[in-house]
Amino acid sequence: MNNLAEIFGADVFNGATMKAMVAPEVYEKFVQLSKEGGEITREIADPIAAAMKEWAIGKGATHFTHVFQPYIISIHAEKHDSFCSLPNAEGKVEADFSGKDLMMGEPDASSFPSGGLRQTSAARGYTVWDITSPAYVKEKILCIPTVFCSYTGEALDTKTPLLRSMDAVNEQGLRLLKLFGNTTATKVTSYVGPEQEFFLVDRKLWEQRPDLVYAGRTLFGTLPPKGQEMDDQYFSSIPTRIKAYLNDLNEQLWRLGITAKTEHKEVAPGQYEVAPIFSISTVALDSNYVLMDALKKTAAKHDLVCLLHEKPYAGVNGSGKHNNWSIGADDGTNFFKPGKEPHQNKLFLLVLACLTKAVDQNAVLLRASASNAGNDHRLGANEAPPAIISMYLGDQVGDVVDQILENGVATHSLHTGKLDLGVSTLPVLDKDPTDRNRTSPFAFTGNRFEFRMVASSNSIGDANTVLNTMMADVFCEACDALEGVENFDAAVDKYIYETLNAHQRVIFNGNGYSEEWPLEAAKRGLPNKKSVVDALPAYTYDGTVKMFEKFHVLTRSELEARENILEEQYSGIINIEAKTMVYMASNLIEPAVIKYVTELARSISTIQKACPGADTSVQEDALVKISALLAETKAASDAIDVAVAYASSKEDSKSIARAYRDQVFSQMAVLRNAVDTLEGLVAKEAWPMPTYGDLLFLD
Ligand code: ADP
Ligand code: MG
């Protein structure tokens, strides 16, 4: 491997590269536009495109593409155009790429989900250059990050609303800073550090599991004698084969300017995590797509398959995408940094009160923004945060909030002191003011909040669009109330107290996995939407529509479209899973089991013939049990067919999704139960596919 510092960003058309290749006034204008927005003209785009083309061709590129993220597809879309021009009279071509090609593309939008925003006959869609995210060369293609919208300007991707929400946070965040006399900040933005969890599985074994191939998760299978109960996986030594894969991955990511930082084994066997250093939310969104793509493609090179699914295996932990999120200004202010004496940091306390209100008011929307069919296997099970949204503040900030709730103001901050292990050769260190709480969906971690619900295969777009928009909303209300008041200090204290007091129910520092918490949460009136299908209507709650429209992030019709697409996606996923199960049951499992019981029956008669009266009770018992389960398997898979037909006969996307959950999904559990019991009774070599034991333990 090359020197990290040398290769980092080598394939990115970053500021330094652009600066060296275009006229100073072009570069200055570009920087100004990236910061303040405004119209990009051909005078700017043409010279930048020329520089980009020259640079990319120097890197061996033959094509360019507008990269975009159509709503809600996990892997980004790209359509490659070569630089080839029309041949001249002598039959020669030139490399062709203009400012127009850079600024706008026009892919046929009709084959992407639109949720009713656009009829198939009205196919035109546009990709528009996002100047805040740098272009790069990957696999000989110049990749230009873009947003994707319809002919009439509606967002058809995950990024447009995120960009809009960042404008909203900028405007309202600056207002809030001004309240406190800040004159140095000129831009407020949101940041994200997404931690990506995933599983790796051997490609040859994967090929033999239609459920992994079609559904991305196992639909049958039971744990071998060892699972994750010994807690011996997390942070354990990474197998050599996997380390070679990670080295390959890291080098690609670094070349693409992605700050791959952390890598480690996760809790379940075969599970890993990688995390970059946090960056501006839209850049983090783009980087996360590149990361997911690289995880998959690099796996193929190493005879592995990367599973991004939230729950590839029953019985061991699933995967999430912990969304570390903060808001900050260009003068270095971090809105979520409490400082040494949080009780004196009025900006932090006001932001915290606002956040508490926003989380409480948008709990179901937050839950919906982090959901998909796969995540329903995690949220609420004892591994991921529950489906109930609550906030963890930790000891120090939690204590300040308690003081405010009790006395109206806080007068002191707890200090945790030193970590002294009593060994003279070990240093004595300062402790963090807060412990961690892995059971909380929304946990304060010292200078950021970690939204731990986000699904591992999902875009981080929706979750961060909601986070930013709800913050703009509550900042706006705080500014409306506090701008121009006579006694600012007293008014701020009062606002903080009243807001925390009104929304304190959402603060919970206890164990989110405990059996008592859902009961306590119900007493507090906190929503607990166990299924994504019940959470999705939050996209069009009155409050949601009002909030998104107020800040021009999404219109009612865009929100309706999103809800519709997500419902269709849910039904689509369950449909694929159901059909895959039926296929596996009929074409793999039943034939293999029939063969096995036939042999068993033959063996009984052979033994009886050879030695009349011999004890064949074990075989007979197995024969009876397995035959009964075989009949159960057949009945359950027939019942799935009936349920699927019923669900698909429903009229609208909401009823279809509900029917898939209530009829099909529940019937899938019946089939799985029968097959998994069979797996425990049939000889290993007779079982028609690799088992959990084969798949999970790669080392
Ligand atoms: P954990 O121990 O929680 O698994 P990791 O190191 O895996 O932590 O990931 C933490 C993530 O949080 C990293 O991406 C890191 O860059 C990010 N992060 C740190 N500070 C901030 C911040 N102020 N805003 C947003 N993200 C941050
Ligand atoms: Mg981590």
Which residue carries 């998959």 as its tokens? 296
Q: How many Å lie between the centroid of ligand 1 and the Cα of residue 278?
A: 6
Q: Among 266, 278, 287, which residue has the most ligand 1 atoms within 8 Å of its CB, making it the best to mutate?
A: 278
Q: Which residues of 48-65 are buried (b: 16+ CB within 10 A; e: fewer)?
A: bbbbbbebbeeeebebbb
**pLDDT at residue 215, as a whole number:** 97
Give per-residue pLDDT as tens, 258-275: 999 999 998 889 999 999
Q: How many Å lie between the centroid of ligand 2 and the Cα of residue 637?
A: 40
Output the CA–CA distances (angstroms, integers) from residue 190 to 165, 260, 335, 350, 517, in the order listed: 9, 20, 10, 17, 31
Mean pLDDT of the chain: 93
Ligand 1 neighbours (beta carbon < 6 A) = 191-193, 195, 262, 275-278, 324-326, 334, 447-448
Poorest-pLDDT segment among 233-237, 390-394, 432-436, 557-561: 432-436
**pLDDT at residue 320, as a whole number:** 94
**pLDDT at residue 119, as a whole number:** 61
Q: For residue 384, what pLDDT band results from cuts at 50, 70 and 90?
A: confident
Poorest-pLDDT segment among 173-177, 317-321, 413-417, 554-558: 413-417
**pLDDT at residue 121, as a whole number:** 54
What ligand 1 atom has the least distance to the C-alpha of 278? Answer: 16
Q: For residue 433, what pLDDT band results from cuts at 50, 70 and 90?
A: confident
**pLDDT at residue 264, as a whole number:** 94
What ligand 1 atom has the least distance to the C-alpha of 194? Answer: 14
Q: Among 195, 198, 277, 437, which residue has the most ligand 1 atoms within 8 Å of its CB, making it the best to mutate?
A: 195
Count CB-CB contacts under 10 A for residue 293: 17
Arithmetic mean of pLDDT, 21-41? 94
Poorest-pLDDT segment among 157-161, 365-369, 422-426: 422-426
Give percent of the chain with pLDDT exceeding 90.
Answer: 83
**pLDDT at residue 122, as a whole number:** 64
pLDDT exceeds cutoff 60 at 136:
yes
Arithmetic mean of pLDDT, 201-223? 97
Q: For residue 699, what pLDDT band results from cuts at 50, 70 and 90?
A: low
pLDDT exceeds cutoff 60 at 1:
no
Torsion sign across C-alpha atoms 599, 600, 605, 607: positive
Asked if the bond preceding 72 is cis, omega within 30° of 0, the reply is yes
The pair phi, psi for residue 426, each rounded to 5°, is -100, 140
Counting ligands in written order, which one lies closest to the CA of residue 319?
2
Counting ligands in written order, which one lies closest to the CA of residue 266?
2
Q: Among 234, 277, 288, 324, which residue has the most ligand 1 atoms within 8 Å of its CB, making it the best to mutate?
A: 324
What ligand 1 atom has the least distance to the C-alpha of 436? Answer: 3
Confirm if 160 and 149 have CB atoms less than 8 A apart: yes
Helix, strand or coil, per DSSP, at residue 319: coil
Give per-residue pLDDT as tens, 493-534: 999 999 999 999 999 999 888 889 999 999 999 999 989 999
Instruction: Output the residue whose Cα is nearest ligand 1's atom 16.
Output: 277
**pLDDT at residue 424, as a whole number:** 78
The pair phi, psi for residue 261, each rounded to 5°, is -120, -60
Which residue carries 């599983």 as its tokens? 199
pLDDT exceeds cutoff 60 at 60:
yes
What ligand 1 atom has the least distance to the C-alpha of 337? Answer: 23
Q: How many Å lie between the centroid of ligand 2 and the Cα of residue 32?
A: 35
Counting ligands in written order, which one lies closest to the CA of residue 448?
1
Counting ligands in written order, which one lies closest to the CA of residue 446?
1
